Copies of this chain bind each other. A is one copy, B any other.
């Protein structure tokens, strides 16, 4: 298919022909010597032990929502921290740039892993406690999964991909399947729920259905090939693939098998009388985002660009991504890069020759269940509310994010 496998020989020449000289590559070789370095980086014991990024790389996380400030207490941690998705490449989010969702009023426990314990008790045949060393001796699995905060939503007053969608990230997680631990403890017949508790002031607890606990949950101690980071729950967090972020209990120390749904602090803000809008609906819907070009970026001129983005779904693997370069009037299949892992960010690309005219870029995805990402207009129609700049998607927002490319190459949030 043309849209999935562009004729790669054409893109530069096409760009040159269209743009009258605005090519990507100069057609003449550089005369003389190529540029050299600014200098040299001195190797130190610290750089040998644990490396750092270049001083020229300045991609950083920001407080979320945009404009929020460190809390006034002595700990100074902002509520949430958003990942710079506009700078992302590939699928993995570096651990240092992974988004952070904190429980309101909470901060980061500083845990000595030698003292940490995980207890499994409640409706089980034999309660168990584990040290970290014991957990690491058990059968492990490694899987790539996204986490997303249920509040990750776009609005007309947000500017960049980081501001609209920065509360999701993706990492390679390693740990023990929760089913292994529950089977060892022996779950009593018919026990329908578990409650998980973290080592936080508000405990970070969540109720999770037993079916999900046994299916694919993970008691994770590893992230991107090393120990979990403190901002991600060091030394132990629960992974609940595809469920909204608040279920992924950090600083995990206790799992109780219980006979009913337990309401916990984590349910704040999630309760609603209307089941259609219940944010505590567990699963994140199919969602995609163009990360390049995205709001706040600048295209240097017309010509060839690979549009790049991320797609993910709590429903499983992404099966299709489509891109529109004309504001949603026509759609073409994008190329899914590499293998689409279940409940993982999936990178897509789409070859595009920009003609220099103002236009609007959109992406939408479909997951293995056949769920299709909706537009904001479709959501508004479903809820029978007027669409406009002040329209906020009720509950979890997985609507299509439009980016407007102005004729000067600047890119803007096109929600209006």
Q: B-contacting residues of A (Cβ < 8 Å)?
A: 6, 8-9, 11-12, 24-30, 34-45, 47-57, 59-63, 70, 74-78, 81, 87-98, 100, 107-117, 119, 121, 126-130, 133-134, 136-143, 172-174, 179-180, 183-184, 199, 221-222, 224-227, 229-231, 234-235, 251, 253-254, 292, 300, 303-306, 308, 337-339, 347, 349, 351
Q: Taking the full assembly, how many copies of this chain does it contain?
A: 2
Q: In the complex, what distance in Å separates the CA atom of A229 from the CA atom of B53?
A: 5
20 contacts between A and B (CB under 8 A): A9-B183, A24-B137, A25-B128, A26-B128, A30-B119, A35-B116, A35-B253, A37-B109, A43-B75, A44-B76, A51-B95, A51-B100, A51-B231, A53-B230, A54-B110, A59-B227, A89-B226, A92-B92, A94-B226, A224-B224
Residue of A117, A138, A251, A337 most packed against chain B (CB within 10 A): A138
Q: Is the CB of A35 within 8 A of B221?
A: no
Cβ contacts under 8 Å, A116 to chain B: 35
Closest 10 CB pairs of A and B: A43-B77, A37-B109, A89-B222, A25-B128, A49-B60, A29-B127, A90-B142, A41-B108, A92-B225, A89-B174
Cβ contacts under 8 Å, A87 to chain B: 226
Output the least CB separation between A89 and chain B (Å): 4
Q: Is the CB of A34 within 8 A of B133?
A: no
Output the least CB separation between A60 and chain B (Å): 4
Closest B residue to A57 using CB positions = B227
Cβ contacts under 8 Å, A119 to chain B: 29-30, 34
Given A48-B63, A54-B234: A139 touches B11 (CB 8 Å cut-off): yes
Q: In the complex, what distance in Å separates the CA atom of A184 from the CA atom of B7?
A: 11
Closest B residue to A173 using CB positions = B90
Contacting residue for A50 out of B61, B113, B351, CB 8 A: B61
Q: In the complex, what distance in Å separates the CA atom of A119 from the CA atom of B253?
A: 55
Q: In the complex, what distance in Å separates the CA atom of A339 from the CA atom of B115?
A: 34
Cβ contacts under 8 Å, A94 to chain B: 95, 224-226
Given A96-B51, A199-B37: A351 touches B139 (CB 8 Å cut-off): yes
Q: In the complex, what distance in Å separates the CA atom of A111 from the CA atom of B275?
A: 55
Q: Is the CB of B183 within 8 A of A8?
A: yes
Q: Is the CB of A338 within 8 A of B143?
A: yes
